């Protein structure tokens, strides 16, 4: 059984992966998994090689996990696609040594088309969560504005629906994983057994409840201020995902104009700032290399002086008789040594001056790098303030009204879907 756990970042995919791992689905050796982190203390339950490969694919497509627009695979050239497909095949070959396994990475919502053609009968488990809570969690963990968090959730969700269309899919709600984990994993296990025909282990209730910590459900309170960012398409999308049976036509629905504009603007902003850390890192590396070269040069100069002093000492220790017999030659050698000493002194002074000048330049570069970092941080804070301001929200609504008035016949169809109190948005 080949199981893929997908969902937006901060939606609960790590919890679902661990619970499925308790049911007997193989993830990998402990050394192959990512280590836990302060923002995910119970573990990511994610393979390092899958994470590294998907990160590389996104970089090659000119994107990253927080700038996904859903078209990343189409931006790869044929040679890179072939290279990445070969590496994916290598990972799958290793995983297929186990009968039942799972792979989890939220990036696969947009990158799954790279993997799909190499799989045999995969099953998709999608974890859905209130987008308002996801946006609040991303703001707390990554400093992303709620506007960008909501737009990313929509982009990931639509990309997932398009990439997995036609495959068996099981939908799980984040809230159920935390409030009734034992019952939820039981239903999920039964669904997987029905789809695959393979038997899985039902973990003990104590084992499940010891792993789940309801205190990690930190963003349900902070989600109250995000509902203003949910347009009709986003609300309908969430209701359909939470219902567990989104209609197939969602795979054809494009990213809303609000999300595309927000993510495009954010991408332009990041593309301006992103090269800066690279340049600063390269500058720090060059400074370190130059400092090491200067230290090595000073060491060689010191050793040269030592050799000269030893030669002078040897010459001066020659006996008086030897001086009489070889006086002229010794005098010539002494003159040559004096000349070398004077030349070495000049070289040393020049090295000292060059060393001082280079170190001054390095210190100036460090100061400029520090100032640049401060300006970049201030610019990021200002952009977040703009995104969270009432004027920005008013501008987004004004743009929507303007598009509606300019194109009255292009009004999007409102999709009626079942909803209940448990699916209500804040």
DSSP-assigned letters across all residues of 224-270:
GG-GGG--HHHHHHHHHHHHT---GGGGGPPPPHHHHHHHHHHHHHH
How large a percentage of the chain has pLDDT more than 70? Answer: 75
How large a percentage of the chain has pLDDT more than 90? Answer: 40
**396 pLDDT higher than 60:** yes
Q: What's the rounded Cα separation, in Å, for the pair 47 and 33?
A: 4
CB proximity list for 415: less than 8 A, separation 6 or greater: 233, 236, 240, 247
Q: What's the rounded Cα separation, in Å, for the pair 321 and 152?
A: 93
Average pLDDT over the chain reads: 80
pLDDT of residue 337: 74
**121 pLDDT higher than 60:** yes
**137 pLDDT higher than 80:** yes
Number of alpha helices (DSSP H) and beta strands (DSSP E) in the chain: 15, 4
With 0-12 / 13-18 / 19 or more C-beta atoms within 10 angstroms meaning exposed / middle / buried, residue 107 is buried
pLDDT of residue 292: 73
**For 133-147, 295-309, 319-333, 364-378, which range has the lowest pLDDT when averaged over its residues?**
319-333
Give the best-scoring range by mean pLDDT among 27-31, 226-230, 287-291, 301-305.
27-31
Give the residue from 23, 1, 164 showing the smallest Cα distance to 95: 1
pLDDT of residue 193: 93
Give the residue from 44, 52, 51 showing the smallest Cα distance to 14: 44
**423 pLDDT higher than 60:** no
**323 pLDDT higher than 90:** no
Its pTM stands at: 0.64
What's the whole-number mean pLDDT along residues 313-329? 61
pLDDT of residue 358: 75
Q: What's the rounded Cα separation, in Å, for the pair 50 and 172?
A: 23
Per the CB < 8 A criterion, the answer to whether 166 and 144 are in contact is no
What does each C-alpha distance from 150 to 95, 137, 190, 279 come to in angstroms? 34, 11, 32, 31
Give the residue from 147, 69, 138 showing the smallest Cα distance to 110: 69
């Amino acid at each position: 059984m080949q199981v893929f756990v997908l969902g937006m970042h901060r939606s609960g995919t790590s919890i679902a992966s661990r619970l499925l791992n308790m049911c007997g689905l193989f993830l990998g050796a402990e050394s192959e998994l990512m280590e836990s982190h302060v923002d995910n203390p119970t573990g990511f339950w994610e393979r390092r090689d899958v994470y590294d490969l998907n990160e590389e694919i996104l970089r090659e497509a000119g994107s990253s996990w927080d700038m996904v627009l859903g078209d990343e695979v189409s931006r790869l050239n044929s040679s890179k696609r072939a290279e990445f497909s070969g590496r994916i095949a290598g990972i799958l070959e290793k995983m297929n040594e186990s009968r039942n396994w799972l792979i989890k990475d939220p990036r696969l919502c947009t990158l799954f088309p790279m993997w799909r053609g190499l799989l045999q009968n995969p099953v998709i488990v999608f974890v859905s969560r209130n987008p308002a809570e996801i946006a609040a969690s991303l703001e707390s963990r990554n400093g992303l504005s709620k506007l960008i968090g909501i737009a990313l959730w929509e982009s990931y969700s639509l990309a997932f629906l398009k990439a997995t269309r036609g495959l068996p899919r099981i939908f799980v709600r984040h809230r159920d994983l935390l409030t009734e984990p034992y019952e939820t994993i039981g239903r999920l296990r039964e669904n997987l057994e029905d789809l695959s025909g393979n038997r899985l282990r039902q973990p003990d209730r104590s084992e499940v409840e010891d792993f789940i910590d309801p205190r990690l459900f930190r963003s349900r309170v902070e989600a109250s201020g995000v509902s203003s960012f949910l347009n009709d398409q986003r609300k309908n999308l969430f209701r359909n995902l939470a219902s567990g049976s989104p209609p197939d036509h969602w795979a054809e629905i494009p990213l809303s104009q609000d999300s595309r504009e927000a993510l495009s603007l954010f991408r332009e902003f990041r593309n301006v700032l992103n090269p800066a850390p690279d340049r600063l890192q390269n500058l720090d590396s060059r400074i370190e290399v130059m400092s090491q070269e200067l230290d090595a040069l000073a060491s060689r100069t010191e050793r040269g002086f030592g050799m000269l002093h030893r030669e002078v000492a040897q010459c001066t220790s020659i006996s008086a008789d030897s001086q009489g017999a070889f006086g002229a030659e010794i005098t010539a050698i002494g003159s040559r040594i004096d000349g070398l000493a004077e030349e070495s002194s000049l070289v040393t002074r020049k090295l000292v001056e060059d060393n001082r000048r280079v170190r001054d330049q390095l210190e100036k570069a460090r100061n400029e790098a520090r100032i640049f970092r401060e300006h970049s941080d201030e610019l990021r804070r200002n952009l977040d303030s703009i995104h969270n301001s009432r004027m920005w929200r008013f501008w987004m609504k004004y743009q929507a009204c303007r598009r509606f008035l300019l194109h009255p016949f292009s009004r999007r169809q409102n999709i009626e879907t079942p909803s209940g109190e448990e699916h209500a948005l804040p």
